[in-house]
Amino acid sequence: MSKIVLKNVLVEIDGDEMTRVIWQMIKEKLLFPYIDLNLEYYDLHVKNRDNTDDQVTTDCANAIIKHGVGVKCATITPDADRVKEYSLKKAWRSPNGTIRAILDGTVFRTPVMVNNIPPAVLSWKKPITIARHAFGDIYKATESLVKGPAKVELTITDANGVHSHVINEFKGDGIVLGMFNTDKSIRSYAKACIKYAISEKIELWFGAKDTIAKVYDGRFRDIFMEEVEEARAELDAAGVNFRYLLIDDAVAQIMKHPGGVLWACKNYDGDVFSDMVAAGFGSLGMMTSVLVSPDGKFEYEAAHGTVRRHYMEHLKGNATSTNSVASIFAWTGAIRKRGELDGVKDAVDFANKLEASVIECIESGIMTKDLVFLAQPKPEKHVNTAEFLGAVAGKLAEKLNN
């Protein structure tokens, strides 16, 4: 068969450690033989980020804005130990955070379901997608120890003067936390969630605690409702239902819901519940992740990290049983979206067949070590990374040649 050709550029963002190794294997075994990807390449290896003073991260984000679709390998966010290990100039910021800020995007995470890995929650029959508002709140908060007795106040200085609110009058020692968000960020988040729900034609939930945080969470609720009403005609045309719930009600209901919903969460809630959903459906290695901007730019990646422990074994020359599913699905998500936007049906079909090949391998008992203990029935043995990719390549070749 002749190679499929993408019309427009797909931005490729390379990464670190074991996922970087797998990234190359995926391209060589599953992609390059069948499709001309028209790639614009950016290397976010931690040393290249250091060498460019992290300019490469900004450049790749701007490339996604220009071209519309990117695919990203997992990357290191260096701590003090990594600074020493890689002889870095400094502990650079999270590349995901930088890209997310430049795109003003929202992260959507969805589990990959296979028949022989049943969800831990018996009612879950369809994937649950978590949309995390990854800006502000406790992640950009100011906090302090308080040595009492002391009075702590919130002071706002604006065009109308100075306004103070007493937070607490401490008789003894304590702690204080001040956090914030912005209308712009909340509105962008709501728009992205609505756009994603319409594109996927799935029910949209948003939950907060406005009964307690009447101003703070109430502002989230009001802005979200305004954007829903603005998009009401599009939501109705796509058959998308919107529900606002108190966050505790949302948690209770999701545990008995069949799934097939997009659950939009505030920052901390999304951090916690994305891990809950990943564990409930099996593994972070089986979790897709896509960053979507309010104006419809897409960046696909795996939901997990760089798998350092396996990389250390790889450097010793040992084979590893690293789960490559999320990285494969990052590529298929990006290729499908590029194909949809460009009207290249063959690219969409290719992405679907590659995903089907992955799922068929796992359902036939060919899987990496992390999935063996989740599978029912449990396979007698597991395969290493190269063996799994080889099996997927075999099934893909069969599908493409039929």
Which residues, other chains included, contact 395 with Cβ-Cβ below 8 Å and sequence gap of 6+? Answer: 357, 360, 361
Q: Which residues lie closer than 8 Å to 251 by C-beta, 6 or more apart?
A: 207, 273
Quickly list H helices, 104-246: 183-200, 216-230, 232-238
pLDDT > 70? residue 233: yes
Rounded Cα–Cα distance for residues 90 and 53 (Å) = 9
Give the residue from 42, 44, 40, 41 showing the smallest Cα distance to 8.
40
Predicted pLDDT at 380: 87
DSSP symbol at 285: G
The H or E element spanning position 129 is strand 128-132
Tell me the backbone φ, ψ of residue 364, rounded to 5 degrees: -90, 0
Q: What is the C-alpha to C-alpha distance for residues 318 and 311, in angstroms, rounded to an integer?
A: 9
| Residue 133, both tokens | 């508002």
Q: Dihedral of CA 360/361/364/365: which sign? A: negative
Tokens 């100075």 -> residue: 162
Q: Write down all domains in the chain, each with its CATH number in brackets.
A: 1-110+288-402 (3.40.718.10), 118-141+188-281 (3.90.190), 142-178 (no CATH)
pLDDT at 318 over 80: yes
**Could you read off the pLDDT of 79-95 as tens digits, one per residue?**
899 999 999 999 998 89
Q: What is the pTM of this model?
A: 0.88
20-48 residue pLDDT tens: 999 999 999 999 999 999 999 999 999 99
One-letter amino acid identity for 100?
A: R
Q: How far apart are CA 127 and CA 191, in angstroms?
A: 22
Burial (Cβ within 10 Å: 0-12, 13-18, ≥19) of residue 121? middle
Q: What is the pLDDT of residues 351-379, one digit of tens each?
A: 999 999 999 999 999 999 989 988 999 99
Q: Are 288 and 112 in contact (CB under 8 A)?
A: yes
CA 60 to chain centre: 17
> Above 90 in pLDDT, residue 282?
no
Best CA proximity match to 194, nearest among 327, 202, 318, 159: 202
- Nearest to residue 298, comparing CAs of 341, 345, 358? 341
Residue-wise pLDDT tens digits, 114-168: 999 999 999 999 999 999 998 889 888 899 999 989 999 999 999 999 999 999 9
Task: Report helix, strand or coil for 83.
Answer: helix
The residue assigned the tokens 């990006």 is 334
